[in-house]
Amino acid sequence: MRDFHGRVAVVTGAASGIGRGLAARFAAEGMKVVLADVEKEALVLAAAELEQQGADVLAVETDVASRESVDALRDAAIEHFGRVHVLCNNAGVAGGGGGPLWTATPNDWKWVVDVNLMGVVHGIQSFIPAMLDHGEEGHIVNTSSVLGLGTGGGSVYGVTKHAVTRLTEGLYYDLQAAGANLGVSVLCPGLIATRIIEADRNRPPALRDDVQPTEEMQQRRRASVEHWARDGMPPEEVAEIVLEAVRERRFYILTHPAYRARVEERMRAILDGSPPPPLPSPEAALGAVAMPARGAGDTAT
Ligand SMILES: NC(=O)c1ccc[n+]([C@@H]2O[C@H](COP(=O)([O-])OP(=O)(O)OC[C@H]3O[C@@H](n4cnc5c(N)ncnc54)[C@H](O)[C@@H]3O)[C@@H](O)[C@H]2O)c1
């Protein structure tokens, strides 16, 4: 996609982190931007900040886990701006227990699958028919993770991210077969300085388990928050990488060249029939992210 000015972008999870970075970068390119997020206060603030900078924006409170809510987002976007050209299915949560996979609860699975996987499915089902109908050039970016390409900790999270990668590959073929004027990319970020560690701030009360976080869990969480803030790539840099990839119609978007080796190692292990490669530390840390999110008594820091 070459022409951004005056076109319309919809970004889910736009109130924070990568989504907020994408919304700002698209606005700087002269796009009209629809910011969608479940966290109302942060959404209003993010939209106000862009408006102050002269951007033409619309904020729509949206829960991507709900098809009805995503349909309402589409309707609001089209009613306000006429059509949609760029769709970023970006909203996501880290969760699912930091312990062994067999200790993740049904609520852990439901929350993470509903947001990370079904959120992307809902975006595709709701928006693509309308994007095909108007026939103008467009692009879809689905946010996966390096954990959606390689292997590592955070198994519930990783399962959903592998699903998003595979789903986006399928979408690529489907759009080709339909002769669509739409490009598609899967964004696979490494460590990014966002609030993903505090994702449980948006966990629905009905999907919380009554687990009190231990002192050790809380310590791990604090360490992860610091690690992400200190060592993560700024979301603005990710947004720059994404814009270039959309411009060039690049399918796989990796933010950290260092992670390429991880992808290669996993592929080699598959072909060699060896066990999964050992856990590297940043990915392993994502496994720790989720642990406190299970406790109803746990508060975001
Ligand atoms: N930060 C990283 O290191 C990293 C690495 C790889 C992939 N990712 C992915 O990047 C994406 C963006 O996350 P981030 O790192 O910017 O985290 P973030 O927590 O800063 O932002 C995520 C946004 O999604 C919103 N959200 C959560 N549940 C939602 C729902 N049900 N409906 C609508 N919005 C919802 C949150 O309110 C938040 O504003 C996610 O898909 C995440 O899995 C992040």
Of residues 96 and 105, the one with the higher pLDDT is 105
Asked whether the beta carbons of 240 and 24 are under 8 A apart, the reply is no
Does pLDDT of 285 surpass 60?
no
Output the pLDDT for position 108: 95
Say how far apart CA 291 and CA 287 lie, in whole Å.
Answer: 8
Asked if pLDDT for residue 288 goes beyond 80, the answer is no
Residue 291 buriedness (CB in 10 A; 0-12 / 13-18 / 19+):
buried
* Dist. CA 277 → ligand 1 center (Å): 27
Give the number of the atom of ligand 1 that is nearest the alpha carbon of residue 189: 6
pLDDT for 295:
32
* pLDDT of the residue at 258: 87
Q: Are 188 and 252 in contact (CB under 8 A)?
A: yes
Dump pLDDT digits (tens) for 4-55. 999 999 999 999 999 999 999 999 999 999 999 999 999 999 999 999 999 9
Angle at 164 between CA 163 and CA 165, to 5 degrees: 90
Tell me the C-alpha distance between 127 and 70, whole Å.
Answer: 9
Going from the Cα of 197 to the center of ligand 1, the distance in angstroms, rounded, reads 9
CA of 217 to the centre of ligand 1 (A): 21
Pocket test of ligand 1: the residue of 196, 252, 283 to mutate, having most ligand atoms within 8 Å of its CB, is 196
- Mark residue 152 as left, alpha or beta (left: phi above 0; alpha: psi -120 to 50; beta: remaining): left
Whose CA is closest to atom 23 on ligand 1?
13
- Collapse the DSSP code of 63 into the 3-class scheme (helix H, G, I; strand E, B; otherwise coil) and give the result: coil
Q: String of b and e for 239-274 (b: at least 16 CB within 10 Å)? A: bebbbebbeeeeeebbbbeebeebbebbeeeeeeee
The reported pLDDT for the residue numbered 141 is 99
The token duo for 229 is: 């803030």
The answer to whether residue 238 scores a pLDDT higher than 70 is: yes
* pLDDT higher than 80, residue 290: no
Percentage of residues in the chain having pLDDT higher than 90:
81
Tell me the mean pLDDT in the region 235-253. 98
Point out the ligand 1 atom lying closest to the alpha carbon of residue 15.
39
Confidence of residue 279 (pLDDT cuts 50, 70, 90): confident
State the closest ligand 1 atom to the C-alpha of 91, by its place in the atom list counted from 1.
Answer: 24
Give the model's confidence band at 298: pLDDT under 50 very low, under 70 low, under 90 confident, else very high: very low
Which of 20, 62, 93 is the pocket-test mutation for ligand 1 (most atoms within 8 Å of CB)?
93
Q: What is the number of the ligand 1 atom nearest to the C-alpha of 43?
A: 39
Higher pLDDT, residue 162 or 280? 162
Q: Does 157 qualify as catalytic in the annotation?
A: yes
Cα-based distances in Å from 79 to 7, 56, 84, 141: 15, 14, 10, 22
Name the residue with the closest Cα to ligand 1, atom 42: 92
pLDDT at 130: 98
Q: What is the pLDDT of residues 130-186, one digit of tens each?
A: 999 999 999 999 999 999 999 887 789 999 999 999 999 999 999 999 999 999 999
Task: Give the residue, 295 or 17, on which the prediction is more confident.
Answer: 17
Quote the ligand 1 centre to 159 CA distance (angstroms). Answer: 16
Structure tokens at 286: 């994502």
Average model confidence (pLDDT) across the chain? 91
Q: Which residues form ligand 1's pocket by a CB distance below 6 Å?
A: 12-13, 15-19, 37-39, 42, 62-65, 90-93, 115, 143, 145, 189, 191-192, 194-196, 199, 202, 232
User: pLDDT tier at 281 (50, 70, 90 boundaries)?
Assistant: low
- In order of their start, the domains of the chain are 8-293 (3.40.50.720)
Amino acid at 124: I
DSSP lists the bridge partners of residue 86 as 9, 139
C-alpha 17 to ligand 1 mean position (Å): 7
E strands, the chain, where?
8-12, 32-37, 57-61, 86-89, 138-143, 182-188, 252-254
Q: Give the DSSP letter of residue 214.
A: P
Nearest CA to ligand 1 atom 43: 92
Distance CA 73, CA 294 (A): 29
